[in-house]
Amino acid sequence: MEHNLPGAADQAGFLIDLSNVVRDRSLGGPGARSLHRFRLVVKALTRLTGDPGVQVYPVADRSLLGAAREFTDRAEVAVLRRWIGEGLVEQVGDADQRLLELMELTSAAHTRTVTGDRFTAHRREYPWIQGNTDRFLKPVAGPSGTVRLVPLDMGVCTEGEISRADELAAFKKQGLLKQSDQPLTRVVNRFWRCPEPRCTAYDPRGGRVLLPRMSKGVPTCEMHCVPLTDAGSRPAMAQLKVMVDGKCKGRYTVEDGSRTGIGRQPADGIALYGLLPPAVAARISREHVVVSAEGGILLVRDVSTYGTQMRTAERHGRPGSWRRLSPGQDRRFGPGDEVELTPGVMLTRSARRFPAELAAAWRNAARNRPAPQGASLPTSLG
């Protein structure tokens, strides 16, 4: 099969998301990781093109060989290492990013990529992914242990879906997800401090606080490569945006355990009067809604004279229906949800989530993912 591996992307007609293919149990082959699945994909490309010498360029994450014990056939590990050493397979830290870079570089030839990944987290940087139907092929199991390739419709992801994928990618990059795609809450719920006195990358008093990188199970400073020390609990926070006629006029942070009044001029809270024309501000109560955070869950309550509407976050490109909030009753305020105080004035929640919401989302994703034969899904966070 090595005659199908030219060792150069510009000589290949197809890129292969090797890590994605090798880990895809639905394609057959023994074990959690199997190079046999890659061979089946190359055979499928041979049938698709009618060319036994079809040229492919595989790109793999370094993590693919990081858990070599998951290959049932140890000889495959040796083969893969040799291919990487000879330049027949490109090994990088982030295969998704590299594949998309190569697709842009080879766009004139319309090089296609074989993958089951939807690249949601990369759609801001590569907007051409949105709605694409002709540059990606998905491998699916065929009859008698074969694999066939079908066009992968990438669809259009909402801003909330893209932001949530960003979160997952950031945690994955830092080694902060278990193999079950659940977060290491014992790490992400804490602040950390670098023993190097001049390092402020993890200092909560600065602006943005970096997530620690896990190295051999230990939170580690990315710049100085030394273990970090625990600096206390990290308060859960969410971000609210005030939108006026579709434009963001203000961003506000809400911490867990807080209660925040929002309106024209609340006694203690977020005042909107200075952001609005007087005629519009007059249609908003002095304290219009109250936003509270309890146990990592954000709630909104209508306390206005004029009433408040709310609609849930978009699903598959379609927003939910507007519904009037029941006065004096709390309603969950999820990522991407919108609360209309008066026509043209809305509160929205950033798609960034509390750790509790992240944990629930990852648990649900794991629960909905088909489990391999003989495996059981995790039921708790560690």
Q: How many C-beta neighbours within 10 Å does residue 218 have?
A: 12
Of residues 232 and 368, which shows the higher confidence score?
A: 232
Indicate if the pLDDT at residue 88 is higher than 50: yes
pLDDT for the residue numbered 366: 44
- For 89-144, how does the pLDDT look when each residue is reduced to its tens digit (9 = 90+)? 999 988 999 999 999 886 545 789 999 999 988 888 899 999 999 999 999 999 99
Indicate if the pLDDT at residue 209 is higher than 50: yes
Q: How many C-beta neighbours within 10 Å does residue 203 have?
A: 15
Indicate if the pLDDT at residue 208 is higher than 90: no
For the domain bounded by 2-151, which CATH number is listed? 3.40.50.11980
Segment 282-301 shows an average pLDDT of 90
Mean per-residue pLDDT over the chain, rounded = 82
Residue count of the chain: 382
pLDDT for the residue numbered 283: 94
Question: Phi, psi at residue 57, to the nearest 5°?
Answer: -125, 105
Segment 276-296 shows an average pLDDT of 91
Indicate if the pLDDT at residue 326 is higher than 70: yes
Segment 318-339 shows an average pLDDT of 87
Q: How many C-beta neighbours within 10 Å does residue 94 have?
A: 17
Interatomic CA distance for residues 244 and 134, integer angstroms: 38
For the domain bounded by 237-355, which CATH number is listed? 2.60.200.20
- For 151-174, how does the pLDDT look when each residue is reduced to its tens digit (9 = 90+)? 999 998 876 677 667 767 777 777
Q: In the chain, which segments carry CATH 3.40.50.11980?
A: 2-151
Q: In the chain, which segments carry CATH 2.60.200.20?
A: 237-355
